[in-house]
Structure 1
Amino acid sequence: MEGENKEYLKSALEQWCSVIEQNTQIEPGYYDNYKVKRGLRNSDGTGVLAGLTNVGQVHGYIMYEDEMIPDDGKLSYRGVDVTDIVMACEKENRFGYEEVCYLLLFGKLPTQKELDDFKALVGAMRPLPFGFREDMIMKTPSNDIMNKLARSVLSMYSYDNNPDSTDLYNIIRQSILLFSRVPTMVAYAYQAKAHYFDGKSLYIHNPQPELSMAENFLYMIRPDNQYTDLEAKVLDLAMILHAEHGGGNNSAFTTRVVSSTGSDTYSAIAAAIGSLKGPKHGGANRKVMAMIEDFKANVDDMNDRDAVANHIAKLLDKDGFDHSGLIYGMGHAIYTKSDPRTVQLKKKAEELADVTGNMKEFKLYSLIEELTPEIFAEKKGKKHMCANVDLYSGFVYKCLNIPPELYTPMFAISRMAGWCAHRIEEVMYGGRIIRPAYKSVCGAGDYVPIKDRA
C-alpha cells in the first residue's frame, strides 16, 4: 500500500506540475511592456534606489550623463575604507573583525578601551543557553548547516525574556547576542552534521572567551583545537571583507524587509540566513569550487592558456558543468574594474597556496580571472568584468582546511554585524513597511460551476 501511495503521489505531482505550467505563464515581453524593473534593477544594470543608509557603501562605477563609467571598486564601512582597515590590521599584526563589528554597530571606530571592553563582552556571551546545544542542535541535526543555523537563530526567541521589543536598547542587546553566539551555533551544527550524517567522531569544545572570533571558530571546529597564527589571521581577513556590503544586497535587503514589518530580531536574521543560503548569493563560493573541479576534469594542462580559455568559452556557451552559461566568481552587479575584497583576499590566497602546496590550483584561478573578461566580451559584448570575492574565498577556506559545508555559514557569521546594523537603521529611520508593486497580467475569468468544468 505504501508503494502504491508513493506512485500515486508521484503521478499526481507530475500532473499538477503540468497544470501549473499551463495556467501560470507570464509572457516575457510583458516585463518590458510594463517597465518592470526585474530584480529591482534599472535597465542600465544599476539598482533601484529603495532607501538610504549610513552602514556601508559599495562603489564600482560613475554615472555621467546617464552613462555608466567603470571605476575601481571601493567598499567602506561607516565611511571608512575597508582597505585601510585591512592594512592597519596587517601593519599592527592584530585581528580586526571585532573592531569592524563595533564600527558597523555603533557607527564609530572604538578607542582601545572601548574595543577591549567590547571584545570581553562578546567573548563572555559566546556560550549558548543551558540545554540549547543538546535540545536545539544535537537532538535535531541537519545535513545542511545553513538550515540548522536559521532554525537555531529562530529558537533563540524562546530563550529571550523580551524577544519582541523593537526599542534600540533591546535590538542592540539581541545583536550582540547574535554575533557572539552564531559562531558557536555553527561550530556545534557542523560537529553534529559530521557525526550523525558523515559517521565521524563527535567533538564538542567550549568557546574560549579570550580568543578572537577567528581563533575561537578554528578552535571549536578542529578536533585538536590547533591552528596557526597565519590561518587565524587569514580567516579574520575573510570575515572583515564579508562583514557588510551595502543595503542593496539580497540578504541585507531581506533583513530590512522583515524589519520594516515590526517583526522581531530573530525572525529578521533567520530570513537573512535563508537568503544567503541561495547559490546566487552566499552559496556562490561552493559553486566556484565545483566549477574548478570541472576544469580539472576536462583540461589536461592547467597551465595551458589556450586549453583553459577554450573551456571557459565552452562554459559560457552552456556546454558543460551546470549548463548555466556562467563563470562563477566572475562579474558583479556593482563592481566593474575591480572588487576590493578580491584584491585583498587574493594576496592571502597566494600566500596560503604557497604554504599549503596549492600553488598550481591558485594559478588556475588567476588564469580564469585573467581570461574570462576578454572571452566574455567577445561572446556577450560586455566590456568590463572583474573577479568577485567568491572566486577566491572558497579556495582560501580550502587552504585553511575548512570543510565545504562551512563555506556559506562562514559568510553568515561574518555578515551578522552588518545585518544587525541594517536592522537597527531600518527600525529607527525606515518608517514604512517595504511593499513594492506587482501588476496582475492574469486577465478576467468567469466562475464556472464545478459540474460544468472540463
Structure 2
Amino acid sequence: MTVDRDNMEEKLNELVEFSRTSGKIDMKLYTEYDVKRGLRDSAGKGVLTGLTEISDVIGFEVTEQGEKIPANGKLYYQGYDVSELVRGFRNRRFGFEEITYLLLFGELPQKHQLDDFVEILGSFRELPEAFTRDVIMKAPSTNMMNSMQKCVLTLYSYDKNPEDTSIQNILRQSLSMVAKMPLLAVYSYHTYRHCFQGHNLVIRNPKPELSLAENLLQMLHPDGKYTELEAKVLDVALVLHAEHGGGNNSTFTTHVVSSSGTDTYSAVAASLGSLKGPKHGGANLKVQEMFEDIKLHVTDWEDEEKLRNYLNLILDKQAFDHAGLIYGMGHAVYTESDPRAVILKEYAQKLSEEKNLEKEYTLYTTVERIAGECIARKRRLLKPVCANVDFFSGFVYTMLGLPKELYTPLFAIARISGWSAHRIEELVNSSKIIRPAYKYVGHHKKYAELEER
C-alpha cells in the first residue's frame, strides 16, 4: 500500500492540535486545590515525601526562633562533610571507590576493606563476551544516554538471576553496574564516532590496577595518556556528582520505580531517562553553550560592563537561547554557595594553570560574580544566588579533553553509586508502592455511539 506522506502529515498535525487542547488544564485550579506542582510548595521548597540517611543537603542556618538564614552550603555523605572527604584524598589517592563504599554501607572503610572492595569492583569491570559487538555496536544512537539505557536493559538478559530483589542480589547487581557504567559510556561514544562521524574504531580495555577515573581517561583519550592532575580532577568531579539527596529527579525516580518491586536493570534505566533531561543532568552542557555564546558576543573578557550588559540581555530573553536563564546559577536548596561548586572551582583553577587557560578561568569567575548580582536585581530576590556544580563542571570536562556527548553520561557514571544506595534503602525500609494523588478536574460525559457523534 502506497502512503500519501503529505496527507499523513496533515492528519498527524490535526491530532497534535487535539492533544494541545485536550491536555490543557486551567492554571487557577492548581491554586484552588493547593496542588504542590513539581512536589514543591508555594515558596519552591520540596514537599517532604521520604526519609534518608544517605546524604544531607543544607543551604540555610535556622535560628532559635525558627527563622531560616542563608548560609554557605553543606553536603554530607552518610554524615561526613564532603569537603572533608575530598581533602582526605591526599597525594595520588583516588576517592570515588571509597565514596561508593561509604554511600552503600554507611561507614568509611578500613584499608583492608577498601582494598577488598576495589578488587570486587575490578572483577565486575568486564562486559559479557561479544557484548560490545552485539549490543553497543548494533543500532547505535547519537545520544549516549539512550545507548546506555539500551545496554543496561540488555544486561538483564545476561544475568542468571535478574528478578531476585533480595538485598544480596541487588548489591551484586549494583556493584556490577558501578563497574560497567564507564565502559558502556565510553564504548558507546567510540561507536558513535565510528558510525556517524567516520572515525576509526578503537576500543581500549580497562586496566585492573587503575582507578575508575584513570580508566575512564585511558579508555577515552586517543593515545590512552593522561596527567596526574587530570585523573585527580576527574575523580573529584565523580565524587561530587555521586549523590545529592533523595529528592533530585533521578534519585526520586529510583525510589518510585524501586517501590514497585521491579528489577535493578529497569530501575537504573528509568533513572538514566530522568538524568538525560536538560533540566537535570544536561544542565552543564547548557552552561558550556552559553559561554560559547558569551565569548562570541563579548570579545573583551576583561570588560565587566559589557559582560554585565550581555548577561542582562540573556535574562531579558533577548540573547542566547531566549529562555531568560543564566545556566549554572542558582539552586533549589543552596543559597550563599554550593559546596560542590566551591570544590570544583578550586580544581578548575589548578587545571586551567596546567592547560594555560587562566584567562578563561577568570572569565568564568567574573561571570559567576556578575551573574549573581544581575539575577538578584532583575528577579528582585531576597536570598543570594550562587553558582551550582554545573557552572564549572562543563569547563572542567572541556579541559580534560572530554567530548560534550559524554557530559551527562559522566554524571550517570558517578550517580549510579547514589542510585544504588537509595534503591537498597527503599527496599529495606518500605513495603508500599509510592503513589501520590492526582485530582480529576475534567467533566463526566455521556457516551454516544460512533454513528451519532
Q: Same fold (TM over 0.5)?
A: yes
Match of 2:375 in 1: 376
Q: After TM superposition, give the deviation of residue 340 of structure 1 in Å.
A: 0.2
Q: After TM superposition, give the deviation of residue 29 of structure 1 in Å.
A: 1.3
Match of 2:335 in 1: 336
Q: How far apart, in 1, do the equivalents of 2:68 and 2:270 lie? A: 33
Q: How far apart, in 2, do the equivalents of 1:407 and 1:167 lie? A: 33
Match of 2:75 in 1: 75
Match of 2:393 in 1: 393
Match of 1:154 in 2: 153
Q: Deviations over 1:280-335 (max 9, x none)?
A: 00000000011111111211312111111111111111112111111100000111
Q: Deviations over 1:228-270 (max 9, x none)?
A: 1110000000001000000000000000100000000111011
1:126-141 aligned within 5 A: 126-141=125-140
Match of 1:422 in 2: 422
2:379 is the counterpart of 1:405: no
- RMSD over aligned CA atoms reads 1.4
Match of 2:358 in 1: 359
Partner SS state of residue 280, structure 1: coil
Kept after mapping to 2: 8 A contact 1:120/1:210: no
Q: Deviations over 1:156-204 (max 9, x none)?
A: 1101011011111001100110001111111111110111111111111
Kept after mapping to 2: 8 A contact 1:73/1:336: yes
Q: After TM superposition, give the deviation of residue 67 of structure 1 in Å.
A: 4.9
Kept after mapping to 2: 8 A contact 1:153/1:266: yes
Q: Deviations over 1:60-99 (max 9, x none)?
A: 1245667542121011110011101111113x43111110
Q: How far apart, in 2, do the equivalents of 1:452 and 1:324 lie? A: 46
Q: After TM superposition, give the deviation of residue 140 of structure 1 in Å.
A: 2.5
Structure 1 segments unaligned to the other structure (5+ residues): none
2:223 is the counterpart of 1:224: yes
Match of 2:47 in 1: 48
Partner SS state of residue 387, structure 2: coil
Match of 2:141 in 1: 142
1:40-439 aligned within 5 A: 40-62=39-61, 67-90=67-90, 92-383=91-382, 384-439=384-439
Structure 2 segments unaligned to the other structure (5+ residues): none
Superposition TM-score, scaled by structure 1 size:
0.97
Partner SS state of residue 338, structure 1: coil
* Count of residues in correspondence between the two structures: 451
Q: How far apart, in 2, do the equivalents of 1:246 and 1:268 lie? A: 17
Kept after mapping to 1: 8 A contact 2:163/2:262: yes
Q: How far apart, in 1, do the equivalents of 2:233 and 2:328 lie? A: 19
Partner SS state of residue 287, structure 1: helix
The runs of at least 4 consecutive aligned structure 1 residues that moved more than 6 Å come to: none
Q: After TM superposition, give the deviation of residue 113 of structure 1 in Å.
A: 0.5
Moved more, 44-53 or 357-366: 357-366
Partner SS state of residue 74, structure 2: strand
Q: After TM superposition, give the deviation of residue 104 of structure 1 in Å.
A: 0.6
Kept after mapping to 2: 8 A contact 1:122/1:180: yes
1:69 maps to amino acid: I
Partner SS state of residue 251, structure 1: helix
Q: After TM superposition, give the deviation of residue 18 of structure 1 in Å.
A: 1.2
Kept after mapping to 2: 8 A contact 1:53/1:247: yes
Match of 2:20 in 1: 21
Partner SS state of residue 157, structure 1: helix
1:172 maps to amino acid: L
Q: 1:11 to 1:67 in 2, by over 3 A?
A: farther
Q: How far apart, in 2, do the equivalents of 1:62 and 1:26 lie? A: 38
2:394 maps to amino acid: G
Kept after mapping to 1: 8 A contact 2:254/2:423: yes
2:87 maps to amino acid: M
Partner SS state of residue 89, structure 2: helix
Superposition TM-score, scaled by structure 2 size:
0.97
Partner SS state of residue 197, structure 1: helix
Kept after mapping to 1: 8 A contact 2:221/2:401: no
Partner SS state of residue 209, structure 1: coil
Q: Deviations over 1:186-228 (max 9, x none)?
A: 1111110111111111111111111000001111112211111
2:52 maps to amino acid: T
2:366 maps to amino acid: L
Kept after mapping to 1: 8 A contact 2:239/2:414: yes
Q: How far apart, in 1, do the equivalents of 2:276 and 2:23 lie? A: 27
Q: Deviations over 1:391-422 (max 9, x none)?
A: 00000000000000011000000111110000
Q: How far apart, in 1, do the equivalents of 2:446 and 2:71 lie? A: 55
Q: How far apart, in 1, do the equivalents of 2:120 and 2:39 lie? A: 39
Q: How far apart, in 2, do the equivalents of 1:32 and 1:63 lie? A: 29
Partner SS state of residue 130, structure 1: coil
Q: How far apart, in 2, do the equivalents of 1:178 and 1:205 lie? A: 19
Partner SS state of residue 292, structure 2: helix
Q: How far apart, in 1, do the equivalents of 2:170 and 2:270 lie? A: 16
Q: After TM superposition, give the deviation of residue 382 of structure 1 in Å.
A: 1.3
Q: How far apart, in 2, do the equivalents of 1:129 and 1:441 lie? A: 50
Q: How far apart, in 1, do the equivalents of 2:356 and 2:13 lie? A: 49
